[in-house]
Amino acid sequence: MGAGKSTIGRQVAKRLDRPFYDCDKEIEARTGVDISTIFDYESEAGFRDRETAMLDELTRKEGIVLATGGGAILRPENRRMLHERGLVIYLSAAVETQVERTRHDQGRPLLHGTDPHLKLNELMAIRDPLYREAAHVTLKTDGQSVKAVARRIAQLLQNEDSAPH
C-alpha cells in the first residue's frame, strides 16, 4: 500500500505503449461501487473473492501492465497466477514512505479507524514474504521519482520481451 503500483504502472504502460489495468479500478468499474463499499457490504473475504476472479481474467491478457491491490498477494492462487502468467515486479517501500503517501487517501479501507504506522507495519510483516515469493524482481521506491522507477521497469520489460524463450 502506497508503494506506487498504480502511479508507476500507468507510467510504464505509457512508456511501452501498452494497455494499463488497475485491478481495484476494474472491480470498481464492474460493481459500480468503490472498494470501501465492497468491504462494508461483503467484508474483506467477499472483496478478495472478486479480486481473485478479476486477477484470473486480467492475467490471461498478453502485453499489458497490471497493478494489483496490495492484498492480492494474500491468496496462494493469486501468487501462483501472477508468477506464472507474467513478470512480477514487487515495488517495495518502507512503512514511513507508505504512511506519507497514504496520509490523505480516504480510499484505503484497511487504514480506516487505525493507527496507520501500526497497521502498515502489521501488513508489511505478513505481506512482504508473500510479495517476495511471487516476485521475479524487487525494486525499492523510497526516495525515487515515479519517472525513474517507471524507466527502470520499462527497461526490464523491454529486456524480457527481447530475451529468447
Predicted pLDDT at 105: 59
pLDDT at 163 over 70: no
Instruction: Express the helix, strand and coil content of the chain in percent, nearest 5 each.
Output: 65, 10, 30
Please give the mean pLDDT across all residues of the chain.
Answer: 87
pLDDT more than 70, % of the chain:
85
Number of H helices, E strands in the chain: 7, 4
Q: Is the pTM of this model over 0.85?
A: no
pLDDT in tens, 114-145: 776 787 788 889 989 999 999 999 998 888 88
102 CB-side CA count, 13 A: 27
Predicted pLDDT at 106: 58
- Say which residues have a Cβ less than 8 Å from residue 60's Cβ, sequence separation at least 6: 85
Look at residues 74, 93, 94 and name the one whose alpha carbon lies nearest to residue 134.
Answer: 74
pLDDT in tens, 67-111: 998 889 999 999 999 999 999 999 888 878 776 766 655 555 555
CB burial of 31-55 (b: ≥16 within 10 Å; e: otherwise) equals eeebbbebbeeeeeeebbebbbebb
